[in-house]
Amino acid sequence: MNILEFLAHNIPTILALIATGIFAGILAGLLGVGGGIVIVPVLFFLFQSFGISPETAMVVATATSLATIVPTSISSIRSHHQKGNVDFVLLKRWALFILVGVLAGSWLVTRVDGTWLTTLFGIIATLSALNMLFRTGKSAMFQQLPGTAGQTLMGSSIGFFSSMVGIGGGTLSVPLLTLCNYPAHKAVGTAAAIGLIISLPGALTMLIMGTTPADAPAGTVGLVNFIAFTCIVPLTVLFAPVGASLAAKLDATRLKKVFAIVLLITGLRMLAQLFL
């Protein structure tokens, strides 16, 4: 099958992936949320709509999401670094612990049933949504970051759980850092760099060590779907500035609440699909 025949046979899938890239880019720019928290559930339900099992849909969505985060995080790092919002001292202290967590988590993805990943994502999405709904603007719970042992646990946990559900650093690291009285703007900028430490080794591990499921969507190598990657990445990068422009004109706080409700429903729906 040549490339034209392939495109002709997969037009609905490609159009849906293009829409995913646009949606993820606008939300990233509009609300400052990481693409993974949007891309994973969209791919999870999209792949199933084309007859792929929920287990396969989840592992491929996870790996593909991590792959899309690599180029977008590089662009984000440059932007935040220019504003002086990337804490390289913290990164040097955390990098090894994050990497160890990522390697353990991404290796586990290649070995476990996708049902476990769906459960974990549903829990993380639900907790993230509740955090956005009820902790916005609240004061920090701790006055400073914990000692070496506590920071080791934070870094390795962020790497482990983020790689297992296909998200960058922001979803977990920003709430954890701000709970410890860490400046919010630096937490967001540093999270972009954490996203690269998570996504690059995580995606490579799943690409090289992952065994492609028999019912995986076309274009999947290891656990990474390159058709989705090719459709999503350029559009995410292209439309993030559009979202940022909209953010200047709209009530970002209210929009974030709306997104949190949608994310809450998504997380609960993923859990319901498993248990109901």
pLDDT in tens, 74-91: 877 887 788 888 899 999
Q: Among 45-49, 190-194, 253-257, which stretch is predicted with the lowest mean pLDDT? A: 253-257
Task: Reduce the DSSP state of residue 148 to 3 states and report it.
Answer: helix
Q: Is the pLDDT of residue 165 over 60?
A: yes
pLDDT at 51: 87
- How do residues 15-62 score in pLDDT, each as one tens digit? 888 888 888 888 777 766 667 888 999 899 989 988 899 999 999 999
Mean pLDDT lowest for which of 138-152, 191-205, 225-239? 138-152
Q: Which of 14-28, 116-130, 184-198, 242-256 has the lowest mean pLDDT?
A: 242-256
d(CA 164, CA 115): 12
pLDDT at 226: 92
Residue 49's CB: how many other CB atoms inside 10 A?
11
Task: List the structure tokens of 46.
Answer: 């999209």
Report whether pLDDT(204) > 90: yes
**Mean pLDDT in residue range 114-142:** 85
Distance (Å, rounded) from C-alpha 202 to C-alpha 204?
Answer: 5
Q: What is the DSSP letter of 211?
A: P
Under 8 Å between Cβ of 38 and 24: yes
What pLDDT shows up at residue 168? 82
The answer on pLDDT for 237 being more than 80 is yes
Residue 255 sits at the vertex; the CA angle it makes with 251 and 256, to the nearest 5 degrees, is 115
Q: Average pLDDT for residues 166-185, to the nearest whole number?
A: 86
Amino acid 5: pLDDT? 65
Q: What is the pLDDT of residue 60?
A: 96
Q: What is the DSSP letter of 34?
A: -
* DSSP letter assigned to residue 168: -
pLDDT score, position 150: 94
